[in-house]
Structure 1
Amino acid sequence: MLNGQDGFCWVLSTPKQSLGFILADGGFDVWIANTRGTKSSRKHTSLTPEDPAFWDWTWDQLADYDLPAVLQFVFNQTGGKKVHYVGHSLGTLIILAAFSEHKLLDIVRSAVLLCPIAYLHRMRSKLIRLAAHIFLAETIHMLGYHEFNPVGRVAQEVLGAVCTEIDCYDLFGAVAGPDCCLNTSTTCIFLQHGPQSSSIKNMIHMSQLVRKEGIRKYDYGNKKENMKHYNQPQPPLYNLSSIPPHVPLFHTHGGQDFLGDVPDTRHLLRTLVRQHDSDDIEVMYMPDYAHGDFVMGYNAPQLIYKPMVEFFKRH
């Protein structure tokens, strides 16, 4: 799972380059999930994307409801076989949040964390940091907007204002870091297919992680609302140190990643490594890689996916 894109990203390149095809060719039964709000996930039993309630969610709900539903469905459909999970970016945050609350442990066999985001307090993206610290998402929400469409009119107006403060010539690089290993054809397909929508409320929640240390559930902004939802004045922390040590983890991150930056990622690693035996956690550091390289890099099959498949086979 990943954020801002649907599952097409796992198969957007050639069969020799795309992780989805590589895993299928390796004998794995591949299931691709979509995040709420993306082009492939805009249906609801009673709501439409025009209803504000359709967008009333953050990654808390992805970790609490969506991810467990997807993985339980796969588990049931495959006759009770435990699942190897692959998450990129937001897909790593929600599996870590679920694990920290001891969810999914009975159906997940191992988890791959591609450029994980969890602690975001020291992220390098000047664009995201500025947006978080001027409470941009909160302002857009107060104006009555609920869907965040990165290529929509509101986003274009916001970028027009923000990019007077920051050089946004290479927008993808300004947000996620300068990728080293993308080819032109794959990048063109990616840009034709996305980026895609999320909820403004989810953007607010991500901004809260940037402004404050630690990983907490969504902060409703006042003690009364937090008491209503959590029975305490502050939103609860996700305690990642409580993740059980027996879940095998494959963790890989990049030195040029502006979202999952090195200091925050190493803080996450210290938290996870303390709990895990060395046989159950594998760490790969790619000094030249940025956020997009892990999904679209022309050398990712050899550098990332091959050791990932070997990790799956060991576990």
Structure 2
Amino acid sequence: MAWKTRSVLLCVALSLWSKPACPEGRKDPEVYMNATQIIERWGYQALAYDAVTEDGYILTLVRILPNANKWKSERPVIFLQHGLESSCVDWVNNLPGQSAGFYFADAGFDVWLGNFRGNLYARRHRTLKPQEKEFWRFTWDEMAKYDLPALVGKALEISKADKLYYVGHSEGTLTAFAKFSTDQQFADKVHTFFALAPVVTVKYIKGPSRFLSPLVKNIQAFEELFGQGLFLPKESFISKLVQDFCPIVVARELCSDLLFLIAGPELHQINTTRIAVYLAHHPSGTSTENIIHFGQMVNSGLCQMYDFGNEEENKKHYDGKTTPPLYDVSKVTVPTVLFWSASDILATPVDVQRSILARVPHVVEVHNLTDFSHLDFIWGLRAAYEIYRPVERFIYKDYSTRHNRRP
């Protein structure tokens, strides 16, 4: 079993650190561009804003200005929130017509791309520096509690809209479900929630990622192995192992492929000419505590707040409670549209059916997609037709009805 554990750890590390280790073939200029540069390269106008959270994190919020010819006056505001280890770039790193960010801009929507704390677009703080461990003391709990209201609030402030449409992928759905279930005032700012590869529980997760979950039971040991702040920093043991392994010629193709092994091994929907671009921007970074939190969810099968590892610490953070509080998604009132697939090994059918379909009360549409891996929801070549187009049509009908107008 020891060799299996080491093999899994190596696979995970290789996938997450394929960016620095596999430089060969990177000739696409988007490899070296940031989000706004990529957007502008394709002829769209992009603006970047700072959204400051209540606890001091400074998050970059990117806006793609809409096609002025589509809507005569007010236009729908759509907010896109990325998943785990991702960033706003994931919504624009395919070609126009294939990327959600470009697709919705072409539809005439006012498009906003959020970033969660810890990724490359959200590593600033009013008082803390990324070099300090305290900067990285967060999980998706804080993303839900602090990041989402800051990002959505800024988008509504600038656009002068009262409400918006929320599109989330993976962790971007988990945080939304959590926030909607605990903050009705925030929920009232969202017309409709479009959940792509939706996550509430991850009890039945498959693939190599599952093998990390037993390790999180010892938080201190996990942090020593994978980093005590940023997950897999360059000085970690696993990272050093990767740096020695990936430069070997026979290993370079493996470095690229393993990213997709973690989220689903099928590559038939991926534009293989864009893999260098994907790997240049993904993973974008998160905290080790956040990874531990997901591991705890695998072990418990529950959607609950972070477990600090002992009853005394939990009491300090949770008003005397010895165990982390649960999120009750039956309290979500936002109309929800689901896009999920039986081929997704991270947002699995059993988890979706038991934790979302059976519990979330206001699911208005369900799209069960065929042969979509976890990353196909944002990178797949069929995503525009099978996801973004239905979202566009739903918003078109809903917004026109609300405002009694047509574009």
Q: Compute the TM-score of the two structures, normalised by the length of structure 1.
A: 0.89
Determine if the alignment matches structure 1 residue 203 to structure 2 residue 291.
Answer: yes
Among the aligned pairs, what percent are the same residue?
Answer: 34
Determine if the alignment matches structure 1 residue 91 to structure 2 residue 180.
Answer: no
Superposed displacement of residue 271, structure 1: 3.1
Distance in 2 of aligned mates of 1:214 and 1:23: 34
Please state whether the residue corresponding to 1:250 is helix, strand or coil. Answer: strand
Superposed displacement of residue 142, structure 1: 4.7
Superposed displacement of residue 291, structure 1: 0.6
Please state whether the residue corresponding to 1:268 is helix, strand or coil. Answer: helix
Structure with larger Rg: 2
For 1:306, the equivalent position in structure 2 comes to 389
For 2:326, the equivalent position in structure 1 comes to 237
The 5 A counterparts of 1:126-205 are 127-135=208-216, 138=219, 139-142=221-224, 145-149=228-232, 153-156=236-239, 170-179=257-266, 180-205=268-293
Determine if the alignment matches structure 1 residue 7 to structure 2 residue 107.
Answer: no
Residue identity opposite 2:323 in structure 1 = Q
Residue identity opposite 2:188 in structure 1 = D
For 1:218, the equivalent position in structure 2 comes to 306
Distance in 2 of aligned mates of 1:50 and 1:261: 36
Q: 1:157 to 1:128 in 2, by over 3 A?
A: farther
* Number of positions where the alignment pairs a residue of Structure 1 with one of Structure 2: 301
Q: 1:217 to 1:301 in 2, by over 3 A?
A: same
Q: Which of 334, 337, 348 does residue 261 from structure 1 map onto?
A: 348
For 2:47, the equivalent position in structure 1 comes to none
Please state whether the residue corresponding to 2:201 is helix, strand or coil. Answer: coil
The two structures, once aligned, show a CA RMSD in angstroms of 2.1
Q: Which of 120, 128, 135 does residue 39 from structure 1 map onto?
A: 120
For 1:110, the equivalent position in structure 2 comes to 192
Superposed displacement of residue 159, structure 1: 7.3
Q: 1:96 to 1:158 in 2, by over 3 A?
A: farther
* Structure 2 unmatched ranges of 5 or more: 1-80, 244-253, 399-407
Q: Is the 8 A contact 1:56 1:199 kept in 2?
A: yes
Q: Is the 8 A contact 2:156 2:164 kept in 1?
A: yes
For 2:202, the equivalent position in structure 1 comes to 120
Q: Is the 8 A contact 2:177 2:329 kept in 1?
A: yes
Superposed displacement of residue 151, structure 1: 7.2
Q: 1:184 to 1:61 in 2, by over 3 A?
A: same
Listed one character per residue, the Cα deviations across residues 50-98 of structure 1 (whole Å, up to 9, x for unaligned) are 1001101000000000101111111122223311011111000000000
Q: Is the 8 A contact 1:250 1:283 kept in 2?
A: yes
Q: Is the 8 A contact 1:255 1:286 kept in 2?
A: yes
Distance in 2 of aligned mates of 1:314 and 1:154: 53
Please state whether the residue corresponding to 2:358 is helix, strand or coil. Answer: helix
Q: Is the 8 A contact 2:216 2:296 kept in 1?
A: no
For 2:135, the equivalent position in structure 1 comes to 54
Residue identity opposite 1:259 in structure 2 = L
Distance in 2 of aligned mates of 1:96 and 1:69: 16
Q: Which of 371, 375, 379 does residue 292 from structure 1 map onto?
A: 375
Question: Which fold has the larger relative contact order, with Cα–Cα distance below 8 Å and residues 6 or more apart in sequence?
Answer: 1
Distance in 1 of aligned mates of 2:270 and 2:217: 30
Q: 1:150 to 1:89 in 2, by over 3 A?
A: farther
Q: Is the 8 A contact 2:343 2:371 kept in 1?
A: yes
Residue identity opposite 2:388 in structure 1 = Y
Distance in 2 of aligned mates of 1:23 and 1:154: 42
Distance in 2 of aligned mates of 1:123 and 1:150: 25
Please state whether the residue corresponding to 2:191 is helix, strand or coil. Answer: strand
Q: Compute the TM-score of the two structures, normalised by the length of structure 2.
A: 0.70
Q: Is the 8 A contact 1:151 1:195 kept in 2?
A: no
Q: Is the 8 A contact 1:241 1:271 kept in 2?
A: no
Q: Is the 8 A contact 2:232 2:239 kept in 1?
A: no
Superposed displacement of residue 310, structure 1: 1.0
Distance in 1 of aligned mates of 2:346 and 2:242: 18
Q: 1:226 to 1:248 in 2, by over 3 A?
A: same
Distance in 2 of aligned mates of 1:211 and 1:283: 28
Superposed displacement of residue 287, structure 1: 2.5
